[in-house]
Amino acid sequence: MPFKIADDPQTDYRELVKNAYNRCAMNYAGQRRTTIEAELSLITEHLTPSSKVLDVGCGAGIPVARHLAETFSLTGIDISSTMIALARENVPTARFIIADVMETEFPASSFDAIVSFYAIFHIPRQEHLNLFRRLARWLRPGGLLLFTIANKDDGAGYTEDDFFGETMYWSNFGPSTYEKFLTETGFQIEQEGIVGGGYESVDAPEEIHPFFFAVKREGL
Ligand SMILES: C[S@@+](CC[C@H](N)C(=O)[O-])C[C@H]1O[C@@H](n2cnc3c(N)ncnc32)[C@H](O)[C@@H]1O
């Protein structure tokens, strides 16, 4: 079976994700679409050259970190050391950190914007509310958040046997839960929509991802 419910108490799914990306980083990066301006314009049009931006689950840095680092001060964080090694080569002007976003800390209000493309759904969903609390703390009041999730609520989460040759793990709620999480953690949702396929050469027309664009409320 290519898909399995992720309910094995013996499996550390965070380690599984990290190790899988360490092994498939080159392959993933080689097939990733290399442009992203349209999606990022939601935030970039509100930023200035002195803005500080965090890219959560930045992968190999292309296209998101590279595009943002051309204008802004960019920090990328990723749990995979191989992805970060590639990102450092691809985007030498940015700062990159190898860490689990759930276990690292940044000073409060230290970013003007946070983006996360195709990464949050690899974190066990019972941690997602806490993740948004952390992102809200790291953003200044009025700061911007742009992220994608998976297309549907997937229950307990699942693994797929052949994601760029590796077993990979996903865990996601449906969009209405993220609306609640964002409101609860001090965000105002500005826009929801869909972004299409993230790959250049993989034929996956069904691959669509909801995105959220939200602003941290002033006075928080
Ligand atoms: C599908 S890739 C997306 C990479 C990049 N954002 C992009 O747009 O191509 C998901 C990335 O999230 C990272 N990731 C997964 N769980 C993470 C965690 N808990 N903390 C930090 N990074 C994580 C993975 O290592 C991987 O590089």
SS3 call for 50: coil
Ligand 1 close to Cβ of residue 32 (< 6 A): yes
Domains and CATH numbers, the chain: 3-216 (3.40.50.150)
Ligand 1 centroid to 116 CA: how many Å?
Answer: 8
Beta strand 73-78 pairing with 95-98? parallel
Report residue 86: phi and psi, to 5°. Answer: -65, -40
Closest CA to 97 of 114, 112, 111, 79: 79
Question: How many residues belong to the chain?
Answer: 220
For every residue of 183-215, DSSP letters joined together read HHTTEEEEEEEEE---BSS---TT--EEEEEEE
pLDDT digits (tens, 9 = 90+) for 154-167: 888 999 999 999 99
Ligand 1 close to Cβ of residue 136 (< 6 A): no
Evaluate whether 153 touches 171 at the Cβ level (below 8 Å).
no
pLDDT digits (tens, 9 = 90+) for 18-58: 999 999 999 999 988 888 877 899 999 999 999 999 999 99
122 token code pair: 């690899």
pTM: 0.96
**Ligand 1 atom at minimal distance to the Cα of residue 32:** 9
pLDDT digits (tens, 9 = 90+) for 80-133: 999 999 999 999 999 999 999 999 999 999 999 999 999 999 999 999 999 999
18 token code pair: 């990290």
Evaluate whether 54 touches 75 at the Cβ level (below 8 Å).
yes
